[in-house]
Amino acid sequence: MALGVLVSTQAVSEDAYHAIRIRDSDGNLVSSVPLLSNRDMSGVDSEDYSVFGSGEGELYAVPLGRPPVHGEYTVALVDPDDAQIAAVRIRFNCYADDGTLP
């Protein structure tokens, strides 16, 4: 199971935007994507995944573990001092409505 994070073109090209941090509901760090050292390295094309809309940027697939995975995660954009610039909290359940895995 992976979480797709679309990072804007601005965020992957300006030094003020250092990394994306993904934390679970307990605040534990699940993953960190350093933006400066990963510029133009994502092999995932955002145009192949319409769920992300028509935004441009780099799409990173962040592994969360083997299904079933569900819960609440916070994805934050941080500066070089690790101060949070922006964040979004997401909740999901990877089970289908009938109780089976998708």
- Condensed to tens digits (0 to 9), the pLDDT of residues 7-51 reads 766 666 667 788 889 999 999 998 888 887 666 556 665 566 555
Task: List, in order of start, the domains of the chain with CATH numbers.
Answer: 2-93 (2.60.40)
Alpha-carbon distance 63 to 4, whole Å?
Answer: 9
Q: Tell me the backbone φ, ψ of residue 41, rounded to 5 degrees.
A: -110, -10
- Condensed to tens digits (0 to 9), the pLDDT of residues 40-89 reads 556 665 566 555 555 666 777 777 776 667 788 999 989 889 899 989 89
Full-model pTM: 0.68
State the pLDDT confidence band at 96, using cuts at 50, 70 and 90.
Answer: low
CA distances, 18 to each of 35, 49, 54, 68, 90 (Å): 6, 25, 24, 31, 21
CA atoms within 13 A of residue 99's CA, in its CB half-sphere:
0
Residue 35 near residue 17 (C-beta atoms within 8 A): yes
